[in-house]
Amino acid sequence: MVEIVEKGIDSDDYRDYVIRDGKFIGAFDEMYRRIPDPWNIGDAGGIQYDLLLYLVRRYGICAGGGRVLDIGAGRGAFTARLKEIVPAAEIHAVDISPTAVRRAQEDHRDAGIRFSVLDIQKDYLGVEEGYDLVVLSQMVWYILPALGDILHHLLDHVLGRGGYLLINQAFYQPGVQKYGREVVSRVEDLIRIAGKDPLELIETNRLTNHNAILLFRNGVE
């Protein structure tokens, strides 16, 4: 069972606002108010984000338009990069933190991206349907109580027929993870919960800071 602790934090370490000592904190808005770039994303450079964009290009996702939902977009750095390669797409980027959303709107006011506040654990049933691409980047640990329901709803309802779900997620090395081990601890657990095999699975730094990128498609078993 996941455990949630009280908020009210005075720290410059993002981990103190997210997961600490095996307990979920979830003080995301406090984190963004205190730390401008808590994840050190910058302009979303680096191999993980490059690989996400590579898969979008490889499969021609939204190349001629379409609808994109970026969940947990933070300040919108990756969303802005995505908009550059699918300029004709309508992109809706959401985050639980009003502070992050406000700053995303300020930073990318001319990008043609719609930013709004949404708690995907509470509001996923109300998310619009018919998206061609849904992005879920580094979100798994933060939605564990509803992970299965959210993934199934995204795949079966939010995505249109033939739509893509693109997941980017870091995993702990064996023996390191303290939170949520009974739900997810390996890439295989995430695939099992999704209930279908990914079209693509790209793993990097498997022996150190293990990260996995998975691409699923609605209507493709």
For the chain, give every domain's residue range: 47-217
Q: What percent of the chain has pLDDT over 70?
A: 95
β-bridge mates for residue 94, sequence order: 71, 116
Is the pLDDT at 4 greater than 60? The verdict is: no
Tens of pLDDT, residue by residue over 42-64, are 999 889 999 999 999 999 999 99
Question: 116: part of which helix (H) or strand (E)?
Answer: strand 113-117
Under CATH, which architecture does the 47-217 domain have? 3-Layer(aba) Sandwich (3.40)
Own/partner contacts of 60-63, CB < 8 Å, gap of 24 or more, are 61/86, 61/132, 61/133, 61/164, 62/86, 62/88, 62/89, 62/132, 62/133, 63/88
* Strand, coil or helix: 49: helix
pLDDT interval class at 220 (50, 70, 90): low
pLDDT score at 173 = 86
Q: At what angle do helices 98-107 and 77-85 cross, to 10 degrees?
A: 40
pLDDT score at 1 = 33
Tens of pLDDT, residue by residue over 175-197, are 888 999 999 999 999 999 999 99
Is the pLDDT at 154 greater than 60? The verdict is: yes
pLDDT score at 93 = 98
Cα–Cα dist 50/217, whole Å: 20
- Sequence-distant (≥ 6) Cβ neighbours of residue 190 within 8 angstroms: 140, 167, 169, 184, 212, 214
